[in-house]
Amino acid sequence: MTDHAATTLGRLNHVGVATPSIERSIALYRDLLGATVIGEPFDLPAQGVKVCFIDTPNTQIELIEPYDDSSPIAGFLRKNPAGGQHHVCFEVPDIQVAVADLKAKGATVLGEPRIGAHGTPIVFVHPKDMGGMLVELMETPAHD
Ligand X SMILES: CC[C@H](C(=O)O)C(=O)SCCNC(=O)CCNC(=O)[C@H](O)C(C)(C)COP(=O)(O)OP(=O)(O)OC[C@H]1O[C@@H](n2cnc3c(N)ncnc32)[C@H](O)[C@@H]1OP(=O)(O)O
Among 89, 98, 99, 123, binds Co ion (CB under 5 A): 89
Length of the chain as a residue count: 144
Q: For residue 62, indicate whether it is catalytic.
A: no
Q: Is the CB of 4 or the CB of 141 nearer to ligand X?
A: 141
The window from 3-11, 27-35, 42-50, 128-136 that contacts Co ion (CB under 5 A) reads 128-136
Write out the DSSP string of 73-108: THHHHHHSTT-EEEEEEEEES-HHHHHHHHHHTT--
Query: For ligand X, which is the closer residue by CB, 4 or 46?
Result: 46
- C-beta closer to ligand X: residue 7 or 71: 71
Which of 26, 60, 72, 135 lies at the binding interface for ligand X (CB under 6 A)? 72
Q: Is 39 a residue that touches ligand X (CB under 6 A)?
A: no
User: What span, in angstroms and rounded, lies between the C-alpha atoms of 87 and 83?
Assistant: 12
Q: Which partner from the list ligand X, Co ion, none does 75 bind, CB cut-off 5 to 8 Å by kind?
A: ligand X
Q: In what order do the strands lie in the sheet with 49-55?
A: 36-44, 49-55, 60-66, 12-18, 84-92, 135-139, 121-125, 109-115
